[in-house]
Amino acid sequence: MKKNNQNNTLNVLEIRKDFPILERKINGKQLVYFDNAATSQTPQQVIDVISDYYSTYNANIHRGVHQLSQEATDKYEDARQTIQKHFNAKHSHEIIFTSGTTHSINVVAHGFETFLQKKDVLLVSAMEHHSNIVPWQMLCEKTGATMEVIPMNNQGELDMRSYEMLLKLKPKLVFVNHISNALGTINPIDEIINQAHSVGAAVLVDGAQACPHIKSDVQNLDVDFYVTSAHKMCGPTGIGVLYAKEKWLKKLPPYQGGGEMISEVTFEKTSYAGLPHKFEAGTPNVCGGIAFGAAIDYMNAVGFDKIAAYENELLSYATKELLAIEGLKIYGTAKNKTSVISFNIEGVHAYDLGTIIDKLGIAIRTGQHCAQPIMDFYGISGTARASFAFYNTKAEIDQLVTALKKAKAMLC
Ligand SMILES: *Cc1c(COP(=O)(O)O)cnc(C)c1O
């Protein structure tokens, strides 16, 4: 990727050259990839790091005295520091490698079992991904605690007045996504965190959908837990992080037992390793961690300011063009939103739309987007969702619009 320092606009045609998959043909048509909210594509710079790892220094880490193990350990720990700096965590041991957002949330939910009692209250937002609902429900079943829901309005914005009222219940923990994967809403997490802290509640922010668009500063936010997955931000699948304040990581019990996470083991008693290893049982995804670091380096080289400005342009353009299709309705019209558009066309099933435009080379997501409560809120069974990344173009959006019109003509 060439840096385009001379101005503040993103050179999308240069950037597209970094992503070999964008050359692919689907059903004889050039791929148009609009399923970025499900997983992002991987630039050559990250693919090279993965290939280099397996070609030259694949080894188990933190235990070998040999050269390869040393190299792999160093690179893995370098990646942890890259991630620490990116999110501005105070300590590198506050960055716990996990298999992704889902795993990270489960680590926290599992740990909170020791802190909760019957009658304790947890607050969840109405627009969460299932991975930020189900682990907490399991926790409530085990502890007898209850979960209250922060409602949202028709635009897909959280009702902050209701939130204030719910805080009077003195919840122990609030969990909310930074950006909704189904609606694109950017939630006011600063305010949510501040208000929660004022009643003594801890806050977990699901950053999976925010990380490809926004560079978050965990110290500035003063957030207790921030979680994300590498594959939403140009990295590989199966790797992610749990950021937690050191004080929480000291208090939380380990999630899994095994190798790596111990300092001493006898059949009578085991003492746990220090941070971050206490939460990293077993052989980790070494290559994935290193590639995650490379993905963050790549995105920072492109520049988050440029990415946000460009994606906003794509969002406005696509919103305008899509709304010009008769019978098309967009779900999620928050004032503050990112480049995710959920929609339906009157009289057409989202699944049929997705299937037909796939034949034309266009990849979108259809269904509930792992957020069934949102679909229930709108009284629909699902939506079609087009989600844009910084390597997409307006020309691709034009192709989507043409394809949707074709599909509509076939189906109506
Ligand atoms: C993708 C996503 C998740 C789940 O991430 P995994 O990598 O599947 O664990 C959770 N929350 C949001 C908002 C997401 O977009």
Total of domains in the chain: 2
Looking at the fold, whether 231 and 86 belong to one and the same domain comes out as yes
Domain of 203, CATH number, reads: 3.40.640.10
Burial class (CB in 10 A: 0-12, 13-18, 19+), 104: buried
Last residue of a domain, one of 270, 300, 330: 300
On whether residue 6 sits in a domain, the answer given is no
| Residue 159, helix vs strand vs coil | coil
The model's pLDDT over 107-131, given as tens digits with 9 standing for 90+, comes to 999 999 999 999 999 999 999 999 9
Q: For the chain, how many residues are written? A: 412
Exposure b/e, 263-302, CB count within 10 A at least 16 = b: eeeeeeeeebbebbbbbbbeebbbbbbbbbbbbbbbbeeb
The model's pLDDT over 354-384, given as tens digits with 9 standing for 90+, comes to 999 999 999 999 999 999 999 999 999 999 9
Atom of ligand 1 nearest to the CA of 232: 1
User: What was the pLDDT predicted at 7?
Assistant: 63
Exposure b/e, 346-379, CB count within 10 A at least 16 = b: eebebeebbebbbebbbbbbbbbbbbebbbebbe
Catalytically active residues, by annotation: 370
In this structure, the number of other CB atoms found within 10 A of the CB of residue 114 comes to 10
For ligand 1, say whether the CB of 366 is within 6 Å of any of its atoms: no
Looking at the fold, whether 337 and 265 belong to one and the same domain comes out as no
Structure tokens at 49: 């790091």
Atom of ligand 1 nearest to the CA of 180: 13
On whether residue 152 sits in a domain, the answer given is yes
Last residue of a domain, one of 274, 300, 326: 300
Separation of alpha carbons 288 and 97, rounded Å: 10
On whether residue 5 sits in a domain, the answer given is no
Looking at the fold, whether 95 and 197 belong to one and the same domain comes out as yes
On whether residue 162 sits in a domain, the answer given is yes
For ligand 1, say whether the CB of 129 is within 6 Å of any of its atoms: yes
Looking at the fold, whether 289 and 308 belong to one and the same domain comes out as no
State which residues form the domain around 393: 12-43+303-411
Looking at the fold, whether 132 and 210 belong to one and the same domain comes out as yes
Structure tokens at 249: 């990581």
Separation of alpha carbons 104 and 196, rounded Å: 21
Looking at the fold, whether 267 and 313 belong to one and the same domain comes out as no
Looking at the fold, whether 235 and 353 belong to one and the same domain comes out as no
Pairing of strands 173-177, 328-331: unpaired
In the chain, count of helices (H) and strands (E)? 14, 17
Looking at the fold, whether 78 and 182 belong to one and the same domain comes out as yes
For ligand 1, say whether the CB of 209 is within 6 Å of any of its atoms: yes
Last residue of a domain, one of 268, 300, 332: 300
The number of C-alpha atoms within 13 Å of 89 and in the hemisphere containing its C-beta is 23
Domain of 346, CATH number, reads: 3.90.1150.10
User: What was the pLDDT predicted at 63?
Assistant: 80
On whether residue 1 sits in a domain, the answer given is no
Looking at the fold, whether 174 and 317 belong to one and the same domain comes out as no
Report mean pLDDT in 10-residue bins for the chain, 412 residues. 62 98 96 98 98 97 91 98 98 98 98 96 98 98 98 98 98 98 98 98 98 98 98 98 98 94 92 95 97 98 98 98 98 98 96 96 97 97 98 98 97 88
Looking at the fold, whether 250 and 133 belong to one and the same domain comes out as yes
pTM (2 d.p.)? 0.97
Cα(88) to ligand 1 centroid in Å equals 21
Looking at the fold, whether 236 and 128 belong to one and the same domain comes out as yes
